[in-house]
């Protein structure tokens, strides 16, 4: 099967709940005796954009292909269809108006087939909901002409590069020329000139980039695959997490030798960088639209592989879960499961660091480490330095947002707020009292340092003072003495819409290779990317589906040699995995096909050198040879008693029971602990407040 079906969930939605998008195609895929018609560039015909769509018509039999006639909105478009090697007809239907258009194929006595295409503007939105204003343009960062707010549209630009025999990419004015130092790539076993066509333009208000090998200046065609393209796409996602309100000066990167040298095309968008936009929903929409444009330019895609680390991993996990089919297999690096789960430990670290600098100054380095749970307390320091400002009103505003436009409670109360929650306003809504997006952040009842107390690493007095003094964050992200309290409506929306990633929907049938570069210890750089997060997602898969056999975790050290070896192996393994799934003609469910077709050589494991990979099941807590080389620690929430899945955003409470502690508290300490937890402490044996099964996939947030 060359084109994977983009799955959808048909569920009736209650009032005030986002609409669940369902396929509106009226024609089934063709049987040997029936005429069939499908949209190819976006197999969701109700989500087409840009006024055009690539359509495949399958005649009832090879001899009837010449009898096929195709109309779009009553206008004959048969002339745009071309015969393909598999006997089907492929056509790029253009000139679609916004809204619905029936594309209909007839074939004499072979019958009639139709699909209703719903077109949306190329500037978006499609399903993410009302676009937030203002939106500051950054097209010039890509060499595109200046653009105008708020749509930030710019003309498409095509440039060329070539790879030199010295391994560097250089500009190339004439793609038909052959510089003396031009390198060669190998695609499908055949050598091709290493010349790269790079296309840049604007889609969904973002700047997109596409790169693929080319042989000359001839424009690519959706009807005939380029000899430098292997028919597959790698979609890259960039890291971070921030509020947005600007176009972004970077994408996930497309001129990548690992991909291009093997013939993969590469695509990305500035809204696929989570630091430009912390909403995986907006990212999903941008990726869908860019991928559609790519297919309309280059032709049908065999499969799409997601790639990227940190915030790029969040997008892959969350898009595969909530909007399955945009990426077919994912390779998330140094991963986190979703933004909402991560916010808890980030805010914890800000509060703990503040406490240890004040009332908790007597805590030793070992005691701080025990409270935090990490392999290195530098992780907590790094979280505050790099991400704590994302919870504030304006401290993380990008330089593209003028200072005069930013929120101020006195001078500009309606200004731009750079809290990372801002990008979820269409899902969560605003608190009318504050004007800020409702927050699911909560630490009421969380017993910081509980594991450290149980292990005898901190005293009862320290435990009491820590929890009495740690405090929380207010709606502007500033520390306050009171614990943080989640908005009930925010909790309901986050669970209902699967913004907290339950791993129960699209992920259960998605091939996953979790690329875990070990950054747990001090001195390894950006050590917020601790290994426990890979196992948080694994536990969610197990909890939701009873198996995590579709997720492989491979660990490696942060050396250039090991990272290169791991990346090359994982890309190859994912391609083989997806190819086997595509060829599986059985009637097994999709999730079963994924597990059954995992390559035999692909399993959990770790690199002990650039040339040696140990294959063994990875566990949490750590065990085995990989566990010794790559020990996995806790985080602030699991060290406070929460389970590995971290599926509780706001815990249910139970009274303080001093019999549950392995230590004795003095009467004064007991009184102080009760005062610190007047409503009780977390009971993680019960589901969290608002926790529920998500509504379904492909949610629509009222874009039209």
Question: CB–CB of 600/606 below 8 Å?
Answer: no
Nearest C-alpha neighbor of 100 from the set 71, 72, 126, 124: 72
Q: In whole angstroms, how far apart are CA 632 and each of 344, 375, 438, 470, 521?
A: 19, 8, 33, 26, 10
* Helix, strand and coil percent figures for the chain, each rounded to 5: 30, 20, 50
Please report the pLDDT score of residue 19 as a whole number: 60
Q: Position of tokens 């694994």?
A: 538
| Helix ranges (DSSP H) in 552-616 | 560-583, 590-596
Q: Position of tokens 């389970």?
A: 643
Both tokens of 387, joined, read 């991400």
ω before 100 within 30° of 0 (cis)? no
C-alpha 604: how far from chain center? 22
Please report the pLDDT score of residue 204 as a whole number: 97
Exposure on the CB side of residue 447, measured as CA atoms within 13 A:
29
The CA-CA-CA angle for residues 513, 553, 644, to 5°, reads 120
Question: CB–CB of 35/110 below 8 Å?
Answer: yes
Sign of the dihedral defined by the CA atoms of residues 537, 539, 545, 550, in that order: positive
Q: How many CB atoms lie within 10 A of CB 408?
A: 13
Question: CB–CB of 94/75 below 8 Å?
Answer: no
Please report the pLDDT score of residue 702 as a whole number: 80
CA 67 to CA 400: how far, in whole Å?
56
Please report the pLDDT score of residue 215 as a whole number: 87
Q: How many CB atoms lie within 10 A of CB 171?
A: 9
Please report the pLDDT score of residue 133 as a whole number: 82
Please report the pLDDT score of residue 704 as a whole number: 37
CA 50 to CA 72: how far, in whole Å?
15
C-alpha 596: how far from chain center? 25
What residues of the chain score a pLDDT lower than 70? 1-33, 110, 522-526, 703-704
What does R_g of the chain's alpha carbons equal in angstroms?
A: 26
Q: Judging by DSSP bridges, how do beta strands 612-615 and 195-203 pair with one another?
A: unpaired
CA 614 to CA 609: how far, in whole Å?
9
**CA dihedral defined by 598, 599, 605, 609, rounded to 10 degrees?**
-150
Please report the pLDDT score of residue 522 as a whole number: 65
Both tokens of 175, joined, read 């793609």
Both tokens of 574, joined, read 């994912």
Q: How many CB atoms lie within 10 A of CB 679?
A: 11
Element (H, E) at 460: helix 460-469
CA 410 to CA 58: how far, in whole Å?
64
Q: What is the pLDDT of residues 561-588, one digit of tens each?
A: 999 999 999 999 999 999 999 999 999 9
Q: In whole angstroms, how far apart are CA 555 and each of 63, 575, 617?
A: 54, 19, 11
Please report the pLDDT score of residue 4 as a whole number: 37
Please report the pLDDT score of residue 275 as a whole number: 96
Please report the pLDDT score of residue 6 as a whole number: 41
Both tokens of 685, joined, read 């044996």
Backbone angles phi, psi at 322, to 5 degrees: -95, -25
Q: How many CB atoms lie within 10 A of CB 148?
A: 10
Contacts with 234 (C-beta within 8 Å, 6 or more apart), sequence order: 256, 259, 264, 265, 266, 267, 304, 305, 306, 307, 571
Burial of 81 (0-12, 13-18, 19+ CB in 10 A): buried
ω before 605 within 30° of 0 (cis)? no
Question: CB–CB of 96/107 below 8 Å?
Answer: no
CA 322 to CA 307: how far, in whole Å?
17
Full-model pTM: 0.95
Question: Following DSSP, what letter does each residue of 256-311 receive, concatenated?
Answer: -HHHHTTT-EEEEEGGGBTTT---HHHHHHHHHHHHHHHHHHH---S-EEEEEETH
Question: CB–CB of 665/460 below 8 Å?
Answer: yes
Burial of 414 (0-12, 13-18, 19+ CB in 10 A): exposed
Sign of the dihedral defined by the CA atoms of residues 548, 550, 556, 558, in that order: negative
ω before 150 within 30° of 0 (cis)? yes
Q: Judging by DSSP bridges, how do beta strands 19-20 and 48-49 pair with one another?
A: unpaired
**CA dihedral defined by 531, 391, 349, 516, rounded to 10 degrees?**
10
Q: In whole angstroms, how far apart are CA 79 and each of 90, 91, 104, 298, 473?
A: 11, 8, 14, 19, 63
CA 269 to CA 260: how far, in whole Å?
18
Q: How many CB atoms lie within 10 A of CB 63?
A: 10
CA 603 to CA 113: how far, in whole Å?
44
The CA-CA-CA angle for residues 339, 344, 345, to 5°, reads 105
Helix axes 378-387, 365-372, angle to 10 degrees: 70
Backbone angles phi, psi at 197, to 5 degrees: -90, 125
Q: How many CB atoms lie within 10 A of CB 75?
A: 10
Nearest C-alpha neighbor of 287 from the set 17, 6, 551, 581: 6
């Amino acid at each position: 099967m060359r084109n994977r079906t983009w799955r959808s969930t048909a569920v009736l939605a209650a009032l005030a709940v986002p609409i669940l998008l369902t396929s509106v195609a009226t024609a089934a895929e063709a049987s040997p005796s029936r005429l069939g018609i499908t949209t190819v560039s976006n197999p969701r015909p109700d989500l087409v954009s840009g006024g055009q769509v690539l359509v495949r018509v399958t005649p009832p039999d090879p001899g009837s292909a010449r009898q096929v006639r195709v109309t779009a909105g009553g206008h004959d478009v048969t002339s745009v269809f071309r015969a393909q090697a598999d006997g089907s007809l492929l056509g790029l239907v253009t000139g679609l108006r916004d809204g619905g258009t029936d594309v209909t194929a007839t074939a004499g006595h072979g019958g009639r087939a139709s699909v209703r295409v719903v077109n949306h503007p190329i500037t978006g939105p499609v399903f993410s909901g009302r676009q937030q204003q203002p939106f500051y343009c950054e097209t010039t960062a890509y060499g595109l002409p200046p653009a105008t707010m708020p749509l930030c549209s710019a003309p498409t630009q095509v440039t060329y590069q070539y790879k030199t025999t010295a391994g560097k990419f250089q500009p190339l004015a004439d793609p038909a020329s052959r510089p003396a130092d031009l390198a060669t790539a190998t695609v499908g076993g055949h050598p091709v000139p290493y010349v790269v066509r790079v296309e840049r333009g604007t889609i969904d208000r973002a700047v997109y980039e596409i790169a693929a090998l080319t042989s000359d200046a001839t424009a690519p065609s959706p009807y005939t695959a380029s000899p430098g393209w292997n028919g597959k796409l790698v979609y890259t996602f960039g890291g971070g997490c921030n509020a947005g309100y600007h176009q972004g000066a970077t994408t996930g990167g497309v001129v990548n030798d690992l991909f291009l040298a093997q013939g993969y095309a590469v695509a990305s968008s500035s809204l696929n960088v989570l630091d430009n936009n912390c909403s995986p929903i907006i990212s999903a929409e941008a990726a869908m639209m860019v991928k559609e444009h790519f297919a309309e330019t280059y032709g049908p895609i065999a499969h799409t592989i997601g790639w990227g680390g940190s915030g790029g991993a969040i997008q892959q996990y969350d898009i595969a879960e909530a909007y399955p089919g945009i990426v077919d297999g994912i390779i998330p690096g140094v991963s986190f499961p979703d933004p909402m789960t991560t916010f808890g430990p980030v805010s914890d670290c800000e509060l703990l660091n503040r406490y240890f600098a004040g009332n908790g100054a007597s805590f030793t380095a070992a005691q701080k480490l025990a409270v935090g749970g990490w392999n290195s307390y530098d992780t907590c320091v790094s979280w505050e330095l790099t991400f704590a400002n994302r919870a504030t009103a304006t401290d993380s505003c990008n330089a593209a947002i003028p200072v005069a436009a930013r929120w101020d409670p006195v001078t500009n109360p309606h200004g731009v707020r750079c809290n990372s929650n801002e990008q979820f306003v269409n899902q969560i809504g605003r608190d009318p009292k504050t004007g800020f997006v409702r927050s699911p952040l909560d630490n009421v009842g969380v017993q910081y340092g509980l594991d450290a107390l149980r292990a005898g690493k901190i005293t009862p007095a320290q435990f009491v003072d820590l929890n009495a003094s740690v405090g929380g964050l207010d709606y502007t992200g500033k520390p306050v003495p009171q614990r943080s309290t989640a908005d009930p409506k925010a909790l309901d929306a986050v669970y209902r819409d699967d913004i907290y990633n339950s791993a129960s929907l699209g992920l259960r049938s998605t091939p996953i290779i979790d690329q875990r570069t070990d950054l747990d210890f001090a001195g390894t750089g950006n050590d917020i990317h601790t290994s426990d997060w890979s196992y948080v997602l694994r536990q969610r898969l197990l909890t939701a589906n009873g198996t995590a056999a579709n997720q492989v975790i491979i660990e490696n050290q942060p050396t250039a040699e090991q990272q290169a070896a791991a990346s090359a192996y994982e890309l190859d393994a994912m391609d083989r995995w997806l190819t086997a799934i595509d060829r599986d003609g059985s009637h097994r469910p999709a999730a079963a096909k994924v597990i059954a077709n995992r390559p035999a050589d692909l399993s959990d494991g770790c690199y002990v050198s650039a040339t040696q990979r140990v294959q063994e099941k990875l566990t949490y807590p750590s065990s085995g040879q990989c566990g010794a080389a790559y020990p996995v620690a806790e985080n602030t929430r699991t060290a406070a008693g929460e389970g590995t899945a971290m599926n509780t955003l706001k815990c249910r409470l139970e009274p303080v029971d001093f019999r549950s502690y392995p230590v004795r508290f003095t009467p004064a300490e007991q009184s102080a602990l009760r005062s610190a937890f007047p409503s009780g402490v977390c009971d993680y044996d019960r589901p969290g407040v608002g926790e529920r099964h998500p509504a379904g996939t492909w949610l629509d947030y009222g874009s039209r």
